[in-house]
Structure 1
């Protein structure tokens, strides 16, 4: 996938190289970059040539096509037989009508020489320019060409008057497929989504191929397009077991959820129990629905999974908690001693989901060697953090404790508020863990301006001393404001005041 920030920087850097040093190097930089580089190059040339003291105007075609003067841009399109096609595409969205018209005719000649290669190269740039005021034209032509609605090349020769009949210059079905396949497998995300949408709408792709693409796709939008198309094809032509298996093996939750829902029409509803312990809550919910449609009780099946030591998994515990009730808390309590840390963490999360977290039972787990367990315990204890002994929490923020224990204990101290929290936050400013330092600093800086009652006691000298140690985190004005809000006098130059 293109790095947008790096491409933009490359485009701007290419201007300096083109106008002041080596034009060939600048052109090479652009052709090795993505569409953002060309857009940035166009903007930077126009800016550099317009400002006082800028570089002298170059006679290079790349610079002339981006010149601030529309007459220069139009003449560059007329004089050169092979201008860079990327800059010609940008000029097709030019704000000067004469430049737009000429650029569209030039682009028609460029595309006619090698339509497949040209469209593959220019599609990412066309998709980005489609958001401009005059950029929709090229996008409409591109979509019409690869979908086979009318002749792209004939339309570009006569801008604004698309041909509705077949032309000898039209793209063949094989050419359209080649363009869409290349874009759908490429690195550019907008191009992949564009190609997936047109391919799925074309109706010429088999259901198994649609499902296979949905299975492998990592982008959520694109995978949803493929999965929806596969499900629609099965709804129209009947279920396909191989396609359903591909959907069930998808990387993304929405793909697997579609596969689960397709099991019913395929007469495979009994397989839904295998997905009650999926890592995605969406898939688990679809599986519970399908189990109910089959006449079984998803609660009973989920409980059986949790009670079986050979089949219990973290996601099975989470799935059970999603359909359990407070009366099932003892079963989750028993899992707090499970040898697998992930299962213990899931049990703590399940108790929090059931609002059945027992403070006395969870407190020892704050020292659990598994970071996920300590994190879940911190979340479970946070609503009643005020009942926890501050000294007990402070002891767990000591440097000799594991980092995940210290972080969980500090978050509970922050939920408590008060002097103990401020004391820990100030001490952590010299801590060796950058994450804890940053977290504590953010909390201290959040004291000003306070959006509600301050979490610190009023008229406490220790609070004043701790605030004085926060010189690098709050301005003098902020610390004076906090002192005045808390009623703590400030001693300065032998005089006291607020």
Structure 2
């Protein structure tokens, strides 16, 4: 095959080069990415039209100058690479002829999916026929590559028909063909597979819980958790949901306690680390006539037994005039979690008492300093600059120095940049890394707002 005439070779153009060299599709592009197939289609067409892709290979085989030569594709078995390039050709006659060879070639099925939304009706109709016949017999790899493409292009003018073919087939597909799609890296594919399997009741509650706790997509996780709850067997299912690491899933489990009539079991979740879980726990207790605010006040009343996150929960549903003094008192509690929760509660009440909040920036616990800095950030321009500078000194702990530096930045202090540059060479690795990160972010933002730096003009001689 003749070579490509590229001035340079970005990754997308490299895929065409590999195909021209005869590489299989699995080596030429990332077949699991649906965009890789649509990009290949666009790039081949553009390269041929711009003359950057020399005639040869599949085009010479088809005989561009002799339309009768298009029939040659029906009798000659092209390579996988030749067939892929032919399916992307700008000439609709070539694309249509190539589809005749694609019927028993599962590797190019994603490109058949692209052709199912083709702008040329004959190509489009033939691609849909090939697709309808190929989906039932496609192996797992072909299906995993094709389904995301069909879902990606369904928003195109003619793209809905291909996605409809996929959805119709999945509704009757064997379970062992459907379940591998639960683990697909493409989010839309996982969503469709899960929705179809739930409609068909193919997934047992333990597997639904596993999907709910493991999938990074909130839509998939929420749907799986809801289906697990609706499926019954609540003792085992609720226990798994309530023990999940993800707050959204624990929240679903807490909410399900209401349906199960187990309201009292929601009380420990009043002190969960997730705000969503705490809110759900309060709702469940209210459905049973209990008062979450009274529970929080009781939990905060005794400093010896106060729960670590009770002060924050108190602020989330309490009354400023009644509960603010309790939170201030707990900022001096011996346990760091109680102190940080109390400061977070002050922030929830939008306390603006700088004189009382500022000393908390020197707390020995990083969590307390973090919450104090967050509480002070909206009023950073009113904070004493010299005292903030003092907190960045080498005699302070790293968590104090970095938060003070952030507040200097938020304050718009003229001393910020000089201090940050000094700290980029600090002996402490935490301080050094944070200062470099803050400076780098500031410089990237300045570049994006002002455009690229000006190129200095050469000096004139003389």
TM-score, normalising length: structure 2 = 0.77
Question: In the alignment, is residue 181 of structure 1 matched against residue 179 of structure 2?
Answer: yes
Q: How many residues align?
A: 411
User: Do the aligned partners of residues 53 and 143 (structure 1) sit closer, same or farther apart at CA in structure 2, a change above 3 Å counting?
Assistant: closer
Question: 1:68 and 2:90 equivalent?
Answer: yes
> Which residue does 1:16 correspond to in 2?
17
Q: 2:72 matched to which residue of 1?
A: none
Q: Which residue of 1 aligns with 2:313?
A: 319
Shift of residue 78, structure 1, vs aligned partner: 2.7
Match of 1:424 in 2: 416
Change (3 A) 1:31 1:276: closer
Q: CA–CA distance in 1 between the matches of 2:384 and 2:340?
A: 23
Which runs of 5 or more structure 1 residues have no equivalent in the other structure? 1-8, 149-170, 451-471, 477-498
Alignment of 1:31-430 (within 5 A): 33-59=32-58, 60-79=82-101, 82-83=104-105, 84-114=108-138, 118-148=142-172, 171=173, 175=174, 177-203=175-201, 205-207=203-205, 209-233=207-231, 240-307=234-301, 312-326=306-320, 327-356=322-351, 358-382=353-377, 385=380, 388-398=383-393, 401-414=396-409, 416=411, 421-430=413-422
Corresponding position of 2:435: 436
> Shift of the alpha carbon at 1:122?
2.0
Question: Cα distance 1:315–1:50, how it changes in 2: closer, same or farther (>3 A)?
Answer: farther
What are the superposed Cα offsets for residues 266-323 of structure 1, whole Å, 9 maximum, x if unpaired? 2211111111011221221121122223233212222333456676454333212212
- Long gaps (5+) in structure 2: 1-9, 59-81, 425-431, 456-462
Give the drift of 1:372: 2.9
More relative contact order, 1 or 2 (CA 8 Å, 6+ apart): 2
Mapped partners of 2:453, 2:392: distance in 1: 23
Cross-structure match for 1:164: none
CA RMSD after TM alignment? 3.5
Q: CA 1:82 to 1:267, structure 2 compared with 1: closer, same or farther past 3 Å? A: closer
1:97 shift after superposition: 1.2
Alignment TM-score, normalising by the size of structure 1: 0.72
For the 8 Å contact 1:14–1:27, the answer to whether it is kept is no
Distance 1:109 1:233, change over 3 A: closer
2:34–2:145 contact (8 Å) kept in structure 1: no
C-alpha separation between the residues in 1 aligned to 2:415 and 2:46? 53
The superposition leaves residues 93-139 of structure 1 with CA deviations (integer Å, 9 ceiling, x where unpaired) of 21111112222233344335447665344212221122222221111
CA contact (8 A) 1:348 1:373 kept: yes
* 1:423-461 deviation line (CA, Å, top 9, x unaligned): 33344345413643564687799999x9xxxxxxxxxxx
